[in-house]
């Protein structure tokens, strides 16, 4: 009997997808069930059917997985912010480590023995130092702030998100009080009318400084009152900004910022260095795990005193500067002009005089530097989720570095790229997964590639 939409079926969950949904098989067909856990025996109702797979929704859990727990957030089943809040954290780490093992063996063709134990977080809650909170209206006209439901632009109201520090909840409550007093209009995506769009928050964990940025289509009335309320109740706030975004787009931030109160940026300490964080700057959202990630990358780089580090996709320079601060010379490459300016400022702020940054596409920069005969000791790469282009891989290997340190946010594209590197003489020597985003399906990996075959596993 073929499965049809609205059928209810008995299913055992045997694995997880990269997006965090449970997967089981029924009559040979893969069935994906969100919010399920490996080991669950359940009844699922089919809500989508294609030729090769189906999607189900839990109707009843017959026998729960031993790893299943009661979610500690009342919005978990509606909100798209977390995927794993129904699992024990130890099980989540096990799944993420296995995901890296599966990717490098199935896609890359490498031994999963190369994968080291995952670096889990000591604090899997309250770790996010940045929040982009959409603003909308409930059916009764009241304010709605929270997260978008999965695969939609429907806002799920979330007064207190457990991924965010408690001070963000305090700021949201102050914003709600201001809105209830003045009833500023809320932007409507369909019509393009209205004012308020997002509340954008950033927190520097080590210095305690907080930035509040109100994203709006126009200047809201009574912003002076909001500023007074915020810095009076939350003294850690040192920057209050307005971002203008009048365009009909789902991009959160517009191009123009105006400082309403205080400074236009905040500062934080990371791996012993001081970094400036502008509203649009890239800065990792989990401070504690970022330090572990960068320390792992620095250990794999092992840059000598006279070594040259080439840092591709360098962003604001955080990885390169933390590795090259005490040794060698740094050349960073980044295509975003404002990020390059931030990287240069960060180098000067920390008295690092051996660093230079190029505003170029990574593919073109790597090819040009290879043609110029640059011979870096170490190359670090932290590409976007789509990974490296074949041209970047070829150019890096043509420079004949001693080591390559690849920081990846997607195990699948990492495995694909490692296969290309290996074909050009740089096989992976060691991979260390890092749980940068607990309670979500994402996992980062630090990978060492070396032409030498003498590194112990």
**Angle, alpha carbons 246-247-251 (nearest 5°):** 110
> Is 233 labelled a binding residue?
no
Beta bridge partners of 242: 214, 258
Residue 409 among the catalytic residues: yes
Rounded to whole angstroms, how far apart are CA atoms 340 and 157?
37
**Angle, alpha carbons 174-175-179 (nearest 5°):** 120
> Is 313 labelled a binding residue?
yes
Q: Which residues of 401-432 are buried (b: 16+ CB within 10 A; e: fewer)?
A: bbbbbbbbbbbbbbbbbbbbbeeeebbbbbbb
CA 277 vs. chain centroid, Å, equals 16
Q: Are 150 and 83 in contact (CB under 8 A)?
A: no
Q: Which residues of 290-315 are buried (b: 16+ CB within 10 A; e: fewer)?
A: bbbbbebbbebbbbeeebbbbbbbbb
CA distances from 388 to 206, 391, 393, 420 (A): 33, 8, 7, 10
Per annotation, catalytic residue among 79, 314, 409, 447: 409
Residue whose tokens read 């990020």: 339
Could you tell me the two tokens for 143?
Answer: 């304010």
How many other CB atoms are found less than 10 A from the CB of residue 211? Answer: 23
> Is 382 labelled a binding residue?
yes
Q: Are 430 and 119 in contact (CB under 8 A)?
A: no
Q: Of 361, 380, 373, whose CA–CA distance to 398 is shortest?
A: 373
Could you give the residue numbers annotated as active site? 409
The annotation places the binding site for S-adenosyl-L-methionine at 284, 313, 334, 382
């Amino acid at each position: 009997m073929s499965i049809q939409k609205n059928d209810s079926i008995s299913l055992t969950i045997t694995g997880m997808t990269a997006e965090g949904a449970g997967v089981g098989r029924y009559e040979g067909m893969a069935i994906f069930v969100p919010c399920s856990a490996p080991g669950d025996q359940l009844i699922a109702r089919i809500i989508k059917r294609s030729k090769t797979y189906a999607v189900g929704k839990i109707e009843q859990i017959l026998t729960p997985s031993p790893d299943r727990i009661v979610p500690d957030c009342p919005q978990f089943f509606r909100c798209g912010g977390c995927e794993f809040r129904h699992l024990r954290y130890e099980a989540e780490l096990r799944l993420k480590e296995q995901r890296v093992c599966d990717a490098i063996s199935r896609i890359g063709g490498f031994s999963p023995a190369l994968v080291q134990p995952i670096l889990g977080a000591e604090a899997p809650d309250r770790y996010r130092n940045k929040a982009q909170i959409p603003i909308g209206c409930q059916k009764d006209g009241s304010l709605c702030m929270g997260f978008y439901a999965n695969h939609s632009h429907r806002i799920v109201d979330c007064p207190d998100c457990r991924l965010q520090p408690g001070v963000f909840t305090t700021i949201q409550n102050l914003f709600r009080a201001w809105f209830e007093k003045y009833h500023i209009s809320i932007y409507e995506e369909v019509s393009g009318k209205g004012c308020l769009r997002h509340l954008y928050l950033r927190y520097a964990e080590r210095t305690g400084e907080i930035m509040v940025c109100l994203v709006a289509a126009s200047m809201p009335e009574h912003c002076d009152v909001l500023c007074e309320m915020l810095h009076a109740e939350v003294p850690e706030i040192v920057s209050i900004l307005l971002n203008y975004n009048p365009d009909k787009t789902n991009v959160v931030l517009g191009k123009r910022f105006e400082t309403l109160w205080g400074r236009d940026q905040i500062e934080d300490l990371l791996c012993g260095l001081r970094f400036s964080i502008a509203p649009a700057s890239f800065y990792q959202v989990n401070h504690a795990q970022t330090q572990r990630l960068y320390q792992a990358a620095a250990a794999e780089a092992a840059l000598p005193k006279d070594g040259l580090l080439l840092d591709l996709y360098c962003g604001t320079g955080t990885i390169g500067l933390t590795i090259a601060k005490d040794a060698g010379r740094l050349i960073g490459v980044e295509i975003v002009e404002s990020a390059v300016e931030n990287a240069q400022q960060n180098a000067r702020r920390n008295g690092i005089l051996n660093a230079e940054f190029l505003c170029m596409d990574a593919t073109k920069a790597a090819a040009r530097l290879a043609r110029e005969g640059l011979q870096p000791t170490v190359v670090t790469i932290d590409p976007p989720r789509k990974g490296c282009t074949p041209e970047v891989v070829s150019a890096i290997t043509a420079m004949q570095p001693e080591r390559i340190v690849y920081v990846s946010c997607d195990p699948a594209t990492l495995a694909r790229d490692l296969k290309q590197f290996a074909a050009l003489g740089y096989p992976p020597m060691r991979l260390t997964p890092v749980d940068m985003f607990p309670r979500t399906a994402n996992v980062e990996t630090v990978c060492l590639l070396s032409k030498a075959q003498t590194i112990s596993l």
